Structure 1
């Protein structure tokens, strides 16, 4: 039976039967591939956009080479990643563990001021405070008077903190 007759029975054109698609194997220019390969060997986490920008190549060309050579960097999974659990910083005795904090305070017409605190993690008292003002304004009027703590080393001041203000870092000593 002829192919022409079979094609008429099945309702397909003869051209579809005889046509053999010939797709050329993609060619990669070594003047692009060599510097790209060298860069991703040095920095394997770089994606095609970073590599293209650093080498000054077209990003579409670099992406195509990544796909042909199988160098594509996999996208990170979306979602929550494991994090370190924040554990309250609890010290067994005074002067065992300390926590620091730095804050910027808007003081109105005087501008910004920086406040640095050192807190004992056992007694939850602020022993040292330092406030600085770059504009030279009288910043002491913004500070409340702080009584001296008898348990503080040397001559420090102390303010009691509430449990919600307790420092939560384990590594501060």
Structure 2
């Protein structure tokens, strides 16, 4: 479901991607499973794995996960999975739409992405 939502957000539709697109991940079971790799191929995505035990190769993603844990997950006691999904979803919205990022010249990720579409 997350892959499909990401494709809809990125390309506006669900189906084979209109351009070559690289999906980089670690070597976790989720990303290396037969079902997932089949799904990735069905959308025309190219899958690339980082070197085992080298998370710095996926540094930006690792940083987002660390920030999510520090600023959201570790600050809440979740009552249920639904509660966790709501709180984490709200935080992701804040992170992408309201929180300025130094690496993006103090723009939000949404604003920085929108700027690439008009450039």
TM-score after normalising by structure 2: 0.23
TM-score after normalising by structure 1: 0.18
More strand by share: 1
More helix by share: 2
Q: Which has the larger radius of gyration?
A: 1
